[in-house]
Amino acid sequence: MILEVKNFSKQYQGQPVKAVDDISFAIDSGEIVGFIGPNGAGKSTTIKAIVGINSIDSGEIYVDGLDFSKYTIEAKQKMGYVPDEALPFDNVTGRELVHFVASMYDVSNEDRDARLVDLAKLFDMTGVLDKLIKSYSHGMKQKIAVIAALIHNPKLWILDEPLTGLDPNSAYNLKQLMHKHCEDGNSVFFSSHVLEVVEKLCDRVILINKAEIILDCTIDELKKKQKDLTLEEFFIKVTKEHNEFLEKAKKDDLSVEQNENAEKKESEAIEKPTKEEI
Amino acid sequence: MVNKRKLNRMLALVKFHFLTSMQGADNKKNKKRKDDLLGADTAFASESIAKRIFKYFAAIFFSFIFVAVMLAIQGYGSAQMALAQGVFAENLTVMMLAMLLMSTMFGLLMYSNVMYYDKKADFLNVLPISKDEIFWSKFAFLYVNQAPVAMILFLPLAYASAAGAKLGAGSYFILTIIPFFIPLISLFVSTIISLPLNYIVSKVKKKEFTKNLILGIFSALMLIPVIVFMIFSGGGGEEEEQMANIQASMQGVIRKAAYVAYPIYAFVKAALFMEGSGMMVLYTLIIFIAITIITIVLSKLLYAKASTNLEDVVVAKKMKQEKKPVKGKLAVLVKREEKRLLKLPGNSINIIIGMLMPFFMIVPSMFSVVKEAGGIANIYKIAIASGLTNTVSSVSMGMYFFAIAMAVVYVNISFTVPMSSEHRVGIDYLLSLPISLEELVKAKFITNLKFSLLFNIPIMLFFLAMAPILKLAFIFLLINGALVSLASISIIYLVDLSKPYLDWTNVAEIRQKFRANIPLMIGLLIAMLQLPIALPIAIFTFQIFHSYAILYLVITVFNVILFLIPFLLLKKNYKKYIARLQA
C-alpha cells in the first residue's frame, strides 16, 4: 500500500463538529484514486493532513509503509503535492521556484535540469520559466505548481483540484502523465469537482460527505451502483441520502435523550418521599 | 555528505526567504513609449538575483540614511564635550541604545510576520524538511536582513563620534564590531515581545488587526526612551555653556542608562581602551551566549505553537433593523478607505510613529523653555501678565512649523501608495461596480487628508499646552499644517497615479520600491525647508517688530506655493492617469 489512512479524525479549534470523522481508506501501487465530495465535506482537510500541513487529532497515516507521525521527513520525500490555491511566490521565477523545491528533495542538478526540460516542454512552459511568477496567468501558475510537485518524481502524487485553470492541452497532458506514472507502479490521489474526469481517469473513487466516507469503490463497481443515473445524479442522490440519514440520526439521538431525561425525572419523582410518608 | 546536503538545503532555504521578500524585478529591456508610463506589465523578464538583492538593500539604505546622518552629526557635535566631561563612552552608548530601539522597532513587524505569521508556512510544511530547518533558516534570514539596518544606523554614528573625539584606527575597528551583534539583541527583544503578542493574537478573532495594533503599541513604547534621551541630550540647544550645564547634571543618568545596553557599553569602552573594558567584553560574550540561547529556545517554542491563520473569523452578526438614510457613494468609499488603510500591514505602526515623531523636534526646546520659566504654571502667569499676547519664544515658533511638517510627512508614510495598494485585482473589481475611478480617487484623497490632519492634533495640543497663548499663531499653524498636508498628499498621488505598481504579492514590497519613497523624500525636503525659512524670520522679525506677522505671512505663502506645484501638476495630468488605470 502506498497510502493508508486509518481512523483519521480532525476537529478544528473552536468548531463544534469534526471536519473529518474516523475515516479509513488505502491506496495501492498503480492506482489513480479520485477523491470527491461537496464543498466543506473534508477533502482538503484530509489531503492537508496526509501531506503534513494539518496535524492529526487521532488515527494514523502510513505512506509507503512509513508511519507519518514518526517518519515525517521520509514520508514527505515520497509525495508530491499540488495545492488547490495558487502558490504565493510572485517574486520568484518559475525556474527559481522549481530549483528551490528540487533542493529540498535533494534532487541532483543533472536530474532536475533534465526533468525540468521535459516537464516544461510537456506543459508548454519553456519560454516563461525565467519570468516572474507574478506575470503568469492562473493556468500557468497551476502548471508551475505541478512541475514543482513532480520534479523529484515522487511515488505518490497528491493533487488538490489539479485541472482547475489548465488549458485543454495541458489538462490532457497531465492526465496522460498520471496514467504513465501509475503504469510505472506509482500512484495518484487527487480531488476534483469535475466528475466526468474522475469517471474517465480513475481506477477508484472515494466519496466523502460531512466528514465521513460514504463510498469507496472501483469505477466498475460504481457503474453498477449508478445503474441508469449519470455520475452527477448518483453523487447527488448518495449525498442526499446520507444527509437525510444524518438528520434522522440526530433527531433520534435527541428524542432518546429527551426520553432518558423524562425517565430520570420520573424516577426521581417516585423516589422522593412525600410529606405524609415523612 | 549528509552535513553538506543539510548545509545546501539551509542555504537554499535562506535564499528562498530573500527571493520571496524582495520586490519584483521589472522588465527593463522593453523600451517604453514616452507616454506609456504604466510600462509593459504583461511579462516581466527577471533581473539577476544579484541585481534584485542590490535594489532590496538600496531601498533599506535610503529608508534609514536620513536618521543615521542626523544622529551622526549629533554624535560628532557632542563627542568633544562628552570626552572632556569623561562621559564619551556613556554618551555614545546611550545614543546607540536609541538606535538599537529604533532598529528593533522597524524589524519587529518583519520578525513577527516571518517567524510566526508566514504565508509560506503551508508550502514549507509540505516539503521534506524538519521544522527545525525551517526555523533556523528564518532565524538566519532575519539576522542577515537586520544586519544592514544595524550597519546603516550604527556605523555613521560610531565613526562620526570617533572622528569628533579624534580616536585612533584601533577604536574604529572595535566600533565596527558593534553592528554585528545588534541584530541578535533586536531578535532577543522581538522574541520577548512576541510572548504576550502571540498569546493575545491566538485568543482574539481579528488576528491581523490585533497583531498590528499591539506591534504599533510596542513600537511606540520603544520610542519613549529615545524621546527621553533627546530631551536630556538636546537641552537648551543654543548656548554651549547652558548645554554643558545640562549635560553635566545628566551625567549620572547617562552613566546608569549606559548599563542598560551593557554589550554596547563594553565594546565602546573597549574602543577607548579603557581600564576594565577587557573584562566587560568577556562578560558581554557570556551575556550574548545567554541571550542567544534564550532567543532560540523561546523562538522555537513560539514557532511550534504559532498559528498562521490570520483570517478574521466570520461571525454571523445580527443586522440591526434601523432606518438609516442611504449614504452617498463618496461617504461609503471614504469609510471603506479608512478601514482599508488601518488594516494594511505596518500602517498602524507608521501612524503611531508619525504622531510621536514631532515630539522629537519640539520636546527638547520646549523642555528648556519650561525650565527657564520655572515651570508650566509660570509660563501661564507670564502670558497672562503680558496681556495674553503670544509669549512663545521665537525659536519655538520657528521649530513648530518644522515639527508640524515632519509630523505630516511621517504620518503620510502610511498613505504613500494609495492606488498601488489596491492591487490589480482590487482595481478591476472596483471598476466592475457602479462607481467611477474619479469617485474612488476623490474618496482616497479625502481620507488621506483627514488622517493627515487628524493625527497632527496631539502635537498641536501639546504645543498649545506648553505655549498657552497663541491667538493668530494658532490659525496660521492650522493653515500651514493643512497646506503641508495637502502638498504632501498631492505629491503622493502624483507619484502613485503616474506609475502605479499593481501586481504585487505582499503589500510590503510596494513600499520597498524606490518610487514609493519619493513622496517621503520630497516631504522631508519640504519639512526641512521650513526650518531655515521659519527660524531666522521668527528670530529677527520678532526682535525688530515684536510680532510674528511677517513669519506667518512668509511661511504661509511658501507653503501655498509648495502645495500648488504638485496639486496643479496632478490636476493637469489627472484625466490621463485615470484613463490609463481603466485601460
Spell out a b/e string for B468-494, using b for 16 or more CB atoms within 10 Å of the CB, else e. bbbeebeebbeebbbbbbbbbbbbbbb
In this structure, the answer to whether residues B205 and B142 fall within a common structural domain is yes
Residue B308 has pLDDT above 60, yes or no: no
- Give B251-267 pLDDT, tens digit per residue: 666 777 777 778 888 88
A106 touches chain B (CB under 8 A): yes
Q: Mean pLDDT score of chain A, rounded to an integer?
A: 86
Higher pLDDT, A192 or B222: A192
**Range of weakest confidence among A28-42, B11-25, B33-47, B333-347:** B33-47
Among chain A residues, CA nearest to B24: A91
A3-78+154-226 in CATH: which number?
3.40.50.300
* DSSP secondary structure code for residue A126 in this structure: G
What pLDDT score does B178 carry?
86
Tell me the pLDDT band of B28, cut-offs 50, 70 and 90.
very low
Contacts of B125 in chain A (CB under 8 A): 51-53
The C-alpha of A84 sits at a distance from chain B's nearest C-alpha, in angstroms, of: 12
Higher pLDDT, B280 or B365: B280
Higher pLDDT, A236 or B429: A236
A137 touches chain B (CB under 8 A): no
What pLDDT score does B468 carry?
65
ipTM score assigned to the predicted complex:
0.79
What pLDDT score does B319 carry?
34
Residue A23 has pLDDT above 90, yes or no: yes
What pLDDT score does B46 carry?
67
What pLDDT score does B87 carry?
82
Higher pLDDT, B350 or A129: A129
What is the C-alpha to C-alpha distance for residues B456 and B357, in angstroms, rounded to an integer?
10
In this structure, the answer to whether residues B531 and B382 fall within a common structural domain is yes
Residue B463 has pLDDT above 70, yes or no: yes
Strands A156-160, A79-82: pairing kind = parallel
DSSP symbols for chain A: --EEEEEEEE--TT-SS-SEEEEEEEE-TT-EEEEE--TTSSHHHHHHHHHTSS--SEEEEEETTEETTTSHHHHHHTEEEE-SSPPS-TTSBHHHHHHHHHHHTT--HHHHHHHHHHHHHHTT-GGGTTBBGGGS-HHHHHHHHHHHHHTT--SEEEEESTTTT--HHHHHHHHHHHHHHHHTT-EEEEE-S-HHHHHHH-SEEEEEETTEEEEEEEHHHHHHHHTTS-HHHHHHHHHHHHHHHHHHHHHHHHHHHHHHHHHHHHHHHHHSPPTTT-
What pLDDT score does B237 carry?
44
Residue B464 has pLDDT above 60, yes or no: yes
In this structure, the answer to whether residues B363 and B400 fall within a common structural domain is yes
Strands (E), B99-204: none
Q: Do A73 and B16 touch (CB under 8 A)?
A: no
* Radius of gyration of the CA atoms of chain A, in A: 24
In this structure, the answer to whether residues B308 and B438 fall within a common structural domain is no
User: Which of helix, strand or coil describes residue B293?
Assistant: helix
Cell of B498: 503616474
What integer is the mean pLDDT of B437-462? Answer: 82
**A93, A104, A131: residue with CB nearest B129:** A104
Contacts of A87 in chain B (CB under 8 A): 123
In this structure, the answer to whether residues B282 and B363 fall within a common structural domain is no
The C-alpha of A196 sits at a distance from chain B's nearest C-alpha, in angstroms, of: 29
Residue B523 has pLDDT above 60, yes or no: yes
Strands A212-218, A204-209: pairing kind = antiparallel
Query: How many of the other CB atoms lie within 10 Å of CB of B169?
Result: 7
What pLDDT score does A88 carry?
72
Domain boundaries along the sequence of chain A: 3-78+154-226, 91-153
Contacts of A14 in chain B (CB under 8 A): 313
In this structure, the answer to whether residues B296 and B368 fall within a common structural domain is no
What pLDDT score does A32 carry?
93
**B20, B24, B45: residue with CB nearest A130:** B45
The C-alpha of B18 sits at a distance from chain A's nearest C-alpha, in angstroms, of: 10
* Pair A162, A193: CB distance under 8 Å: no
User: Which of helix, strand or coil describes residue B523?
Assistant: helix
∠ CA(B563), CA(B565), CA(B571), 5° rounding?
95
- Given B252, B286, B312, which residue is the final one in a domain? B312
**Range of weakest confidence among A109-118, B51-60, B260-269, B343-352:** B343-352
Query: How many of the other CB atoms lie within 10 Å of CB of A255?
Result: 10
* Pair A192, A34: CB distance under 8 Å: yes
Q: Mean pLDDT score of chain B, rounded to an integer?
A: 76
Higher pLDDT, B205 or A72: A72
In this structure, the answer to whether residues B150 and B298 fall within a common structural domain is yes
What integer is the mean pLDDT of B314-336? Answer: 55
Higher pLDDT, B123 or B32: B123
- Give A91-132 pLDDT, tens digit per residue: 788 999 999 999 888 888 899 999 999 999 988 899 899 988
**A77, A88, A134: residue with CB nearest B119:** A88
In this structure, the answer to whether residues B296 and B333 fall within a common structural domain is no
Sheet strands side by side (includes A187-191): A79-82, A156-160, A187-191, A32-36, A204-209, A212-218
- Owning domain of residue B545: 327-497+523-583
Give CA B470 to chain center in angstroms.
31
What is the C-alpha to C-alpha distance for residues B106 and B185, in angstroms, rounded to an integer?
13
- Give B139-171 pLDDT, tens digit per residue: 899 988 888 888 888 899 999 999 988 888 888
Q: Do B509 and A91 touch (CB under 8 A)?
A: yes
Residue B33 has pLDDT above 90, yes or no: no
Residue A35 has pLDDT above 90, yes or no: yes
The C-alpha of A195 sits at a distance from chain B's nearest C-alpha, in angstroms, of: 27
Q: Do A104 and B9 touch (CB under 8 A)?
A: yes
Residue B357 has pLDDT above 80, yes or no: no
In this structure, the answer to whether residues B378 and B233 fall within a common structural domain is no
Cell of B557: 505663502
∠ CA(A60), CA(A65), CA(A70), 5° rounding?
55
Q: Do B128 and A73 touch (CB under 8 A)?
A: yes
Contacts of B130 in chain A (CB under 8 A): 72-73
What pLDDT score does A54 carry?
83
User: Which of helix, strand or coil describes residue B274?
Assistant: coil
Contacts of B45 in chain A (CB under 8 A): 130-131
**Range of weakest confidence among A195-204, A249-258, B166-175, B400-409:** A249-258
In this structure, the answer to whether residues B301 and B368 fall within a common structural domain is no
Residue B240 has pLDDT above 70, yes or no: no
Element (H, E) at B271: helix B262-271
Q: Do A91 and B16 touch (CB under 8 A)?
A: no
A88 touches chain B (CB under 8 A): yes
What pLDDT score does B131 carry?
83
Q: For residue B82, what are the contacts with CB-CB under 8 A and spacing of at least 6?
A: B88, B90, B91, B92, B165, B247
* Pair A204, A31: CB distance under 8 Å: yes
What pLDDT score does B18 carry?
86
The C-alpha of A142 sits at a distance from chain B's nearest C-alpha, in angstroms, of: 14
The C-alpha of B508 sits at a distance from chain A's nearest C-alpha, in angstroms, of: 12
Sheet strands side by side (includes A20-27): A20-27, A3-10, A58-63, A66-67
What pLDDT score does B111 carry?
86
**B19, B129, B504: residue with CB nearest A96:** B19
* Pair B544, B449: CB distance under 8 Å: no
Higher pLDDT, A24 or B236: A24
Q: For residue B129, what are the contacts with CB-CB under 8 A and spacing of at least 6?
A: A73, A104, B9, B13
Domains of chain B: total: 2
What pLDDT score does A1 carry?
87
**Would you tell me which residues 20-49 of chain A have a C-beta closer than 8 angstroms to some C-beta of chain B?**
48
Tell me the pLDDT band of A164, cut-offs 50, 70 and 90.
confident
Q: Do B123 and A83 touch (CB under 8 A)?
A: yes
Cell of B141: 534570514
Residue A48 has pLDDT above 80, yes or no: yes
Q: For residue B124, what are the contacts with CB-CB under 8 A and spacing of at least 6?
A: B118, B134
In this structure, the answer to whether residues B117 and B256 fall within a common structural domain is yes
Q: Do A132 and B46 touch (CB under 8 A)?
A: yes
- B207 lies in a domain? yes
Q: Do A74 and B24 touch (CB under 8 A)?
A: no
Mutation test of the interface with chain A: which of B18, B505, B511, choosing the one with the most A Cβ atoms within 10 A? B505
Residue B5 has pLDDT above 50, yes or no: yes
* Pair A185, A29: CB distance under 8 Å: yes
The C-alpha of A114 sits at a distance from chain B's nearest C-alpha, in angstroms, of: 20
**Would you tell me which residues 154-193 of chain A have a C-beta closer than 8 angstroms to some C-beta of chain B?**
none
Q: Do A88 and B127 touch (CB under 8 A)?
A: no
The highest-confidence range among B56-70, B232-246, B350-364, by mean pLDDT, is B56-70
Q: Do A134 and B8 touch (CB under 8 A)?
A: no
Residue B560 has pLDDT above 50, yes or no: yes
Query: Is residue B506 exposed (0-12), middle (13-18) or buried (19+ Cβ within 10 Å)?
Result: middle
**B5, B24, B126: residue with CB nearest A106:** B5
Residue B49 has pLDDT above 60, yes or no: yes
Tell me the pLDDT band of B42, cut-offs 50, 70 and 90.
very low
What sign does the dihedral B286-B288-B292-B295 (CA atoms) show? positive
What is the C-alpha to C-alpha distance for residues A134 and A157, in angstroms, rounded to an integer?
25
Tell me the pLDDT band of A168, cut-offs 50, 70 and 90.
confident
Q: Do B123 and A88 touch (CB under 8 A)?
A: yes
The C-alpha of A11 sits at a distance from chain B's nearest C-alpha, in angstroms, of: 15
A105 touches chain B (CB under 8 A): yes
Residue A269 has pLDDT above 50, yes or no: yes
Higher pLDDT, B568 or B318: B568
Cell of A76: 514527505
In this structure, the answer to whether residues B528 and B445 fall within a common structural domain is yes
What integer is the mean pLDDT of B47-70? Answer: 79
* Pair B212, B320: CB distance under 8 Å: no
Cell of A89: 511566490
